[in-house]
Amino acid sequence: MKNRIFQVSRYRRLPPEIHVMLLGTLLTRGGYYMAWPFLSITLFEKFGLSAFAVGGFLAAATACGAFSGIYAGYLSDKYGRRAVISISTLIAALGYVLMSAGDSLIGYSASILAISMGGSHLEACCKALIGDRVTDGGDREFALYFRYFTLNVGVAVGALIGVTAGIASQFATFMAVSVVHLVYGVVLWLLLRKIGRGTKVVHCDEQISFADAYSQILGHRAFVTLLLCNMLVALVYANFDSTLVQYIARFNPDGGRHLVAWLIAVNAATVTIAQFPVLRLLEARSIELRLTAGLSLIFVAQVGFAFAGVTHIALLVLATIVLSLGELIVFPTFSVKIDRLTPDDMRGSYFGAGNLYSLGSAIAPLLGGALLQYVGGPGLFAILSMICLWVLALHVLASRREARVASGAY
């Protein structure tokens, strides 16, 4: 029992700042999804942007956040997590304030960019903070998985509030989210201040340049392969939230709104309820085997969507459950694997670079929309299933190579 990862005792052993970070993750991600339903609506209704323009707009903001997160991670290694986390929460908070008063496209663009950058920087630093403050390997793995759990709870609750109570007052919603970020940033800053030098994790030459740091990362073959796999899986998965919704809405007689709502609810419920039971079943297995299992489930889900069309509701629901099970295994396990590959003095830089996986999510609506238009729904999901197979093959080959390196085969 002592070696089991998913135990309540591990949560109790986590330091106070990690408890605050986990609660803050739940609240800030919930706050984001309280505001998220309004972004596309406002861009369309207030500024008259086309669906393609809205998709491109949000994709560009996501890309900017991902790329800026690379430098933020490097800065957190060099100057400490506390400073970068505090600045990130402030940037996001200002973005929500600006959004609440935005009357121009330029102002709204700036607010979305600030929110994307603040969130991306915060995510990289918080994952790195777990590695800094949690020394036991099992406790650290538990914390990374639990962070993903709180993130999904925040998404589910935030989206529910956003599409119900939030619609009545967008101004109040945006201001509330801004206050949540500010309070979270201040509380975490105070806790990290007490720790003092413990938050500054650079143990090597602090004069290492940004170019040198990322030259080392790009030369880390196992990490780059893992990042590529993560990015492609994010691309496949994000089509559930974007392109599948369009597919159902276009070809369902009643617009498919109730069906879409049910599928999203099934996804949220499956991830929230099943994460710890499923991962407990897999905890005795290696990281590589967990990823193989999760990727295989995502592949099976794409095949299910390809055969389901928009009429076989039971198959759509079943495919959504299978996809959700794959998701809850794969994405937090990628974070655990990155943590294991990361040198202690470059944890922020690695997790900052790891945020590039979100580029897959950014590209998904554009690529998925084009495929839906030209090859149809079954063709779209057939192509996504082939991408899954390619990722599976890449992961298996990389795992075998790592095993040979570890055994001294070459």
48 within a domain of the structure (yes/no): yes
Give the alpha-carbon dihedral of 112, 190, 335, 80, to 10 degrees. 90
Query: Smallest Cα–Cα separation from 79: which of 336, 342, 349?
Result: 349
302 within a domain of the structure (yes/no): yes
Residue 16's CATH number: 1.20.1250.20
3 within a domain of the structure (yes/no): no
Q: Are residues 134 and 236 in the same domain?
A: no
- Per the structure, the count of domains in the chain is 2
For residues 378 and 253, give the distance between their C-alpha atoms in angstroms, rounded to a whole number.
18
For residues 391 and 330, give the distance between their C-alpha atoms in angstroms, rounded to a whole number.
12
Per-residue pLDDT of the chain (410 residues; tens, 9 = 90+): 456 788 888 999 999 999 999 999 999 988 887 776 667 667 767 777 776 677 777 788 888 988 998 899 999 888 888 899 999 999 999 999 988 877 788 888 888 899 999 999 998 899 999 988 898 888 999 999 999 999 888 887 887 777 666 555 677 778 888 999 999 999 999 888 887 644 444 444 556 788 888 888 888 888 999 999 999 999 999 998 778 877 887 776 555 667 777 887 788 889 889 988 998 898 888 899 999 999 999 999 999 999 988 888 899 999 999 999 999 999 999 999 999 888 888 888 999 999 899 899 888 888 888 888 889 889 999 999 999 999 999 998 988 887 776 665 54
For residues 73 and 227, give the distance between their C-alpha atoms in angstroms, rounded to a whole number.
16
For residue 291, with 0-12 CB atoms within 10 Å meaning exposed, 13-18 middle and 19 or more buried, which class applies? buried
For residues 310 and 306, give the distance between their C-alpha atoms in angstroms, rounded to a whole number.
10
Q: Are residues 196 and 209 in the same domain?
A: no
Residue with tokens 């929230």: 272
Q: Are residues 197 and 170 in the same domain?
A: yes
Q: Quick one: how far is CA 311 from the chain centroid? A: 31
For residues 218 and 233, give the distance between their C-alpha atoms in angstroms, rounded to a whole number.
20
Q: Are residues 111 and 247 in the same domain?
A: no
